[in-house]
Amino acid sequence: MPLTHIQSQLQGIYDLRLDHRVEDFLITDEAQVDRLEQCRKFRSTQEKLLISEYDGELFVSLYLAEELLETLETNNPYRRLESKNLREFCTVLEGVSHFIYLTWNATHDRSISRLELELQAEVDKFVSIFLLSGKQGSPIPWGTLSTWLFDRCHYDSALGPDELHRYKTANKLAREFCRRLEPCFDSEGLHYGIIKELRRFYRKRHHEKLTSAGGDVLSRSP
């Protein structure tokens, strides 16, 4: 199942030990999501991480629309990543990335902000697609991937202004982070230096993570 592949790929890149399997937290029934959200009007999306905290315990579910998983079952991106499954792969990868980042931080008793969650997911998508396409013998050039993922992305028109702002900030910081890593990327894989940098970045949080991603973006003249 692609979910297992995605989880093990991300855990491998970042050297994460996690006792939870994403499949065990998966929901594909939209009606169940509505019930969990208690009919509050949240934006309808194909991927959603549902979180609630009660009495010091964190309850997590990952909703992925059935059709996303069907597409990935039919056109498995781990056999061949192509235009037929790239969008769906990104959406599912984003959900799995959120799940891993949240649960890993929660198990280490670390709080994270939604901006950090979105930023990490953007980086995860970039690195995963770059690696997977390289492994399959048809590496997507760094610039092409960056343009597609960061410059030509579309934002849901239903996003509220705060959410939109958060996504745009995460996008800009992730693009900056990946831009600085470019000289270290190798189409044949990741050498140890870049893996160390990615692992360090994963474990940073709050201000340090944001500035580490953005580099000199704040110091540069707008």
Partner 1 sequence: MVEQEACVIEATSLQAYFHDSLSDVFKQHDTQLTQEAHAYIVNLLFHFSRSEQVFDWHEKRLTLKPLALLYGEAVHAKSNGERLLVLRRLGDVALFVAGIFGPSLDRKAVGINYYIDMGGGAYDWLSDNLENGGKHSMSWETFRELAVKFENLVSALDSFAQNSCLRGDSSLIRLYEKWLRSKDPKCAEQLRKQGVPVSSVDSKLTH
Residue (of 178, 2, 21) closest to 100 by Cα position = 21
Contact pattern from residue 155 through residue 194 relative to partner 1, giving x for each residue in contact according to CB under 8 A and a dash for the rest: -------x--xx-xx--xx---------------------
Amino acid at 120: Q
Q: Kindly tell me which residue out of 20, 135, 203, 205 binds partner 1, with binding defined by CB under 8 A.
A: 205
Neighbouring CB atoms inside 10 A of 141's CB total: 12
Member of 37, 148, 211, 215 binding partner 1 (CB under 8 A): 211
**Do residues 97 and 125 touch, judged by C-beta distance below 8 A?**
yes
Task: Check residue 115 for interaction with partner 1 (CB under 8 A).
Answer: yes
Does residue 218 bind partner 1 (CB under 8 A)? yes
Question: Residue 46 and residue 93: Cα distance in Å, rounded?
Answer: 12
Per-residue binding letters, 5-44, with partner 1 (x by CB under 8 A): ----------------------------------------
Residue closer to partner 1 by CB (options 50, 115) is: 115
* DSSP assignment of 159-202: --HHHHHHHHHHHHHHHHHHHHHGGGEETTEE-HHHHHHHHHHH
Question: Should residue 111 be labelled a site residue for partner 1 when binding is judged by CB under 8 A?
Answer: yes
Binding of partner 1 by 114 (CB under 8 A): yes
Owner of token pair 């343009």: 147
Note whether 72 and 6 are within 8 A (CB). Answer: no
Q: Are 160 and 106 in contact (CB under 8 A)?
A: no
Residues facing 192 on adjacent strands: none
Residue 41 CB, nearest approach to partner 1 (Å): 13
Q: How far is the CB of 135 from partner 1 (least distance, A)?
A: 33
Segment 43 to 72, residues that bind partner 1, using CB under 8 A: 51, 53
DSSP character at residue 147: I
Q: Which is nearer to partner 1, 31 or 218 (CB)?
A: 218
Q: Which helix (H) or strand (E) segment is 60 a member of?
A: strand 57-64
With binding defined as CB under 8 A, does residue 77 bind partner 1? no
- Site residues (vs partner 1, CB under 8 A): 51, 53, 111-116, 162, 165-166, 168-169, 172-173, 205-208, 210-211, 214, 217-219, 221-222
